[in-house]
Amino acid sequence: MSSVQLAAVLMGAVLLASMMSVEIGISVALIELGLGIALGNAFNLNPNASWLVFVAGFASVVLTFLAGAEVDPDDFRERFWASIAIGIVSFAGPFVVATLIALGALGWSTKASLIAGTALSTTSLAVVYAVLVETGLNTVRVGKLIMSACFVTDMCTVIALSTIFIKPTVWFPVFLAVSVALIVVLPRIAPWFFGRYGDRVIEPEIKIVFAILIALMVLGDEANSQAVLPAFVLGLVMSRHYQLHREEQKRMRVVAFAFLTPFFFLRGGMNVSLTAVVANLGVLLLLLAAKMTPKLTLIYPLARRYAPPHGTFTTLLMSTGLTFGTISSLYGLNAHIINRTQFSLLVTIVVLSAIIPTAIAQRWFSPPTRGPEEHIHMLPPEPSEILIGESGS
């Protein structure tokens, strides 16, 4: 199938997913994942077409930037320890359990087991952000807490993958320096640039952000690292600007959700091999349990403490996975640490963890997006806030 034919098929799937989402009331991201699985297996579509790999990779970086831009810096600072606690537990539990099960019960090699633990420890900031935006929960405190905690989990995953496996190249200091420089400079030049060139049909304010994100992707590839983490921080430091310029943020979101993100989710589903899954169903269920059980049992007590009455919703969204799970699995495959069957199993679990808990959370536990004020529940204060309040009284 040519590139144009593949693009035509996928665009048809994008339109169908949007229509289905409206009709049945389920996040379009989940439907796109499902259609990706169906199309990839029914028609043997190539998920590694060069244009699709680029668009999907760029979409993940844009989604991460937009997620960072949704976080209120003051709220993030106030709920810092809540985000840290939930995020670290979300990473550590499945990392340890999945690694031990792969090493012991499944007899995988040590490095393959560590790849499994890393891939299954992730959350999906992209899926979470897409769902929160579609439901309007990105503007409430529980939604912001979930996004912050997802970032912490994914940061732990990247640190684990880099520490255990990846050897940074000589470009890494350059990548780090440019990332820090952009994080410092962009919020300072944004008011001038957007004031001088913004509010035009040619959208220079979107183009400058896209150019910066692509530059980070280039440097990240050269440094053998990932651009999504500096992209999130860049979005975070730009959040105050977007609070004052909501229309700019909405236009960028329209571009992302209309064209970029559907290819990211479709490609995620296309990576699933149903043949390998059916042949190793017992292994898949064991590894799926290794990911989901520690996440559900360890996150829930913290979620009930920091995000009442939405502890179950928070726990389910923190149990998702997609971007970094796929990245970790793909690294293991390319480095010949895992074979294609192991890769298919890990990617299938990652995709299932993006679909199942998110669908359950959205269908039965999603907080209302309209109505009385009480649905935007104020999180309990951090212990440090209580101590400060008592000492100052």
Lowest mean pLDDT among 207-211, 224-228, 355-359: 224-228
Top-level class of domain 3-368 = mainly alpha
pLDDT for 75 equals: 72
pLDDT of residue 179: 93
Nearest one of 241, 247, 234 to 190, comparing CA atoms = 241
**pLDDT tens digits for range 45-70:** 888 889 998 998 899 889 888 878 87
By CB atoms closer than 10 A (0-12, 13-18, 19+), residue 220 is buried
Burial of 24 (0-12, 13-18, 19+ CB in 10 A): exposed
Q: Residue 375 above 60 pLDDT?
A: no
Q: Are 120 and 346 in contact (CB under 8 A)?
A: yes
Which one is predicted more confidently, 59 or 383?
59
DSSP helix/strand/coil, 297: helix
Q: Where are the domains of the chain?
A: 3-368
With cut-offs at 50, 70 and 90, classify the pLDDT of residue 369.
low
